[in-house]
Each structure stands twice: as C-alpha cells, then as structure tokens.
Amino acid sequence: MLDLKDPLVQIKITSAVCSFVAIASTVYRLIVRRGRLWADDAWACFSMFALFVQIAAVFMHVPNPAELSRTNRVAAYYLMATSFYAIIWSARLSILFSIVRLDPSEIRRRRLLYVGILYFVVCCVLIAQLFWVCEPEPEWKDTASPQCTLNKEVAICQLVSDIIADLILIVAPLKLLAGLEDKGLRRRLMVIFSTCIVTTIVSLVHAAYILTLGGPKVVVAALVEDCVSLIVCNIPVVVTATFRLRERNELRRTTKISTLMKFSSRIFSHKATGREETAVTLNDIETGSESTSRGALSKGIGSEVGGISSIYNATSKDPMIHDSRASDKWFSL
C-alpha cells in the first residue's frame, strides 16, 4: 500500500501524472506535424526524450532507495537535476523555432536564431552551476535519498533567466501577429503564444521553494515546471490542429446540408412543372447517370459553399490558421 504522505511517493505520483499529459501532447503534436517536421518539432521531441530520462531517474528509487548503491543514488539525483534544465530550455527553443518558422522577415529570423544560441548557452551554464554548487559539499551524497541543497544564487539565476527567456517568447511574435488583418485571429494567436507566462509562474513557485523550504517540495515543483514547459511548447500546434479539425467538420456539415437542399429543390421542381418524375439517388450522382450531370451538381454545390471553401482548405492535411487574404497564407502552424 502506497503511503501518500511519503515524500518519495509524492514525487513519483507527480512525475507519472504530469509526464503522461506532457508526453501525450508531444506525441499528438508530432502526429499532426508528420511529413512537415522542422527544428521546432525536433526540439519538442528532444524535450520529450529528456523527460523520459527524468522519469527513469525518479523511479530508480522504486521500491526502496536503500537498495541502490551510493553512486547510483547520486547519479539518479544528477539525472533528475540535469534533465530538468534540458526539458525546460529545449521546450523554450521549440517555441522560439516555431516563431522562426512562421516569421517571413529574414532579419527577425536571424535575430531569433541568435537568441536560440543564447538559450542553449544559458542552459549549459545552469547545468554547470549545479555541479560547482553541489560537488564541493559531499555530505548530501550520504543520505538515503540524496538531494543537493541549492543556495540562493542558484534560485536567483534560475528565476532571472526564466523571466527574461519567457518575456522574449511573449514579445517575439507580436510583430509577426501585427501583420494579420483578421483581428479575431490575431487575438487568438496572441493568447496561444502568451501561455509562456504560465511557465514563469511555475518557476516563481519553484524558486520560492529553493529559497525557503527546500527538500522534496523543490523536486515536486521542478517536475511540475518541466511538464508545464513541454505542454506549453505544444499548445500552438495542438490548439491550431483542434481548431482546424473543428472547421473541417463544420465545412463537411455545411456541404451535406447544401447537397440535400439541392436534391430537394430539383425533385420539387419536377413535380411542380408536371414533367416526368425522375428519382435522384446518390448512385446517379456518382456514376453520372440519368439527366443529372456530375459537373452541374458540383457547380451548384460549389456556389453554395464557395464562401467557406475560399477560407478553409478542407482537403489539406496541414493544420493551418490563416487569414482569408492571400498575404497571410504563409502563416501555418
């Protein structure tokens, strides 16, 4: 029977539940983007694999950390700590490269690539800081469940880097979205990209635990921050694909209604004029038999739903959010 008051059990439950949601969102993202994978998808995939490493490190303590050697216990902690930074910063790089992929301006794209290099350097520095803070104090390695006591310098560096990095991700797409003429679409995309602030809020909680309480709650907060970061980086693609699926279903229903109305008006027209009544069936439409030609029917249906088909590309597999104007056709998530 699991003891829910046991800190190690709480850590494992948090890891299992949050990681499941994060991994599911990433897998869905990769399925939606299949055939069009780019650097942002590669970083999201890397973040997911880093999360798998973290899950393995967390569950290395099952069922009892005392069964592991001292070296293995210390290795499990370092795996959790280093994968923490790898997951968060690769998720941020995924969001950044999503903006790079969408932005048509060559100058802004180049600047964002420089920001991406800076993100990678910051991640490496934070991982190095972990070792130069923990290694000079070996006492923590002798505990049953080793956990390095991080000082306020680590918390401050994490907090400052998190706030600046997330602020950049919020500001970066503003000029990109300002070019959209559809105000509703612009607001919706701003909300999607502004979800980066959720990661900042969770990082504030994590930093507060480092500065005050310490202990297992720091690990729990870190696990939640990891998974939230990965979920947030998938939101632009997942939400866009969801809207796209809904639009396809609406178009399909509209087409069916238009087709039925066309059939009904044709039958009533035969009855009203007293001409010989001819039953119109789906087989007739498909084979082109009787007096109804497929071309005339498709032309009629096209006129009914032309206004919708000009906005939504129902046959495309690319989950796009774009304005109906030709100038915005480049915007594809």
pLDDT digits 0-9 by tens, 7-32: 777 888 888 999 999 999 999 999 98
**How far is 247 from 319, CA to CA, in rounded Å?**
10
C-beta of residue 103 within 8 angstroms of C-beta of residue 112: yes
Residue-wise DSSP of 177-228: HHT-S-HHHHHHHHHHHTTHHHHHHHHHHHHHHHHTT-THHHHHHHHHHHHH
pLDDT tens sequence across 21-68: 999 999 999 998 888 899 999 999 999 999 999 999 888 865 565 677
- Helices 152-171 and 106-134 pack at an angle, to 10 degrees, of 170
Q: How far apart are CA 325 and CA 323, in angstroms?
A: 5
Write down the pLDDT at residue 195.
Answer: 80
Cβ(176)–Cβ(39) under 8 Å?
A: no
Q: Which residues contact 103 (CB under 8 A, 6 or more apart)?
A: 109, 112, 173, 176
Say how far apart CA 325 and CA 322 lie, in whole Å. Answer: 8
Q: How far is residue 51's CA from residue 60's CA, in Å, rounded to a whole number?
A: 14
pLDDT value, residue 60: 80
What is the pLDDT, as a whole number, of residue 231? 93
pLDDT of residue 315: 40
CA angle 127, 133, 139 (to 5 degrees): 125
CA Rg value for the chain: 27
Q: 51 and 80 in contact (C-beta within 8 Å)? A: no
| Residue 187 Cα to chain centre, angstroms | 18
Of the candidates 286, 150, 295, 116, which has an alpha carbon nearest to the alpha carbon of residue 221?
150
- Please tell me the predicted confidence (pLDDT) of residue 161: 92
Residue type present at position 83: S
What parts of the chain have a pLDDT lower than 50?
274-332
The first and second tokens of residue 318, run together, are 């690319």
Which positions ≥6 away from 235 have C-beta within 8 Å?
A: 25, 192, 195
pTM over 0.75? The answer is no
Q: Residues, the chain, total?
A: 333
Place of tokens 């809904």: 246
| CB distance 44 to 91 below 8 Å | yes
Give me the CATH code for the 7-238 domain, please: 1.20.1070
Closest C-alpha among 150, 139, 297 to residue 215: 150
- pLDDT given at position 136: 87
- Report the pLDDT value the prediction gives residue 290, as an integer from 0 to 100: 39
**Structural contact between residues 222 and 200, judged by C-beta atoms closer than 8 angstroms:** no
CB-neighbour burial class of residue 277 (10 A; exposed 0-12, middle 13-18, buried 19+): exposed
The position carrying tokens 């900042």 is 200
Q: What is the DSSP letter of 102?
A: H
* Buried-exposed string 44-62: b where 16+ CB fall within 10 A, e elsewhere: bbbbbebbeebbebbebbe
State the DSSP string of 153-183.
Answer: HHHHHHHHHHHHHHHHHHHTTHHHHHT-S-H
Instruction: Please list the residue range(s) of the chain that carry CATH number 1.20.1070.
Output: 7-238
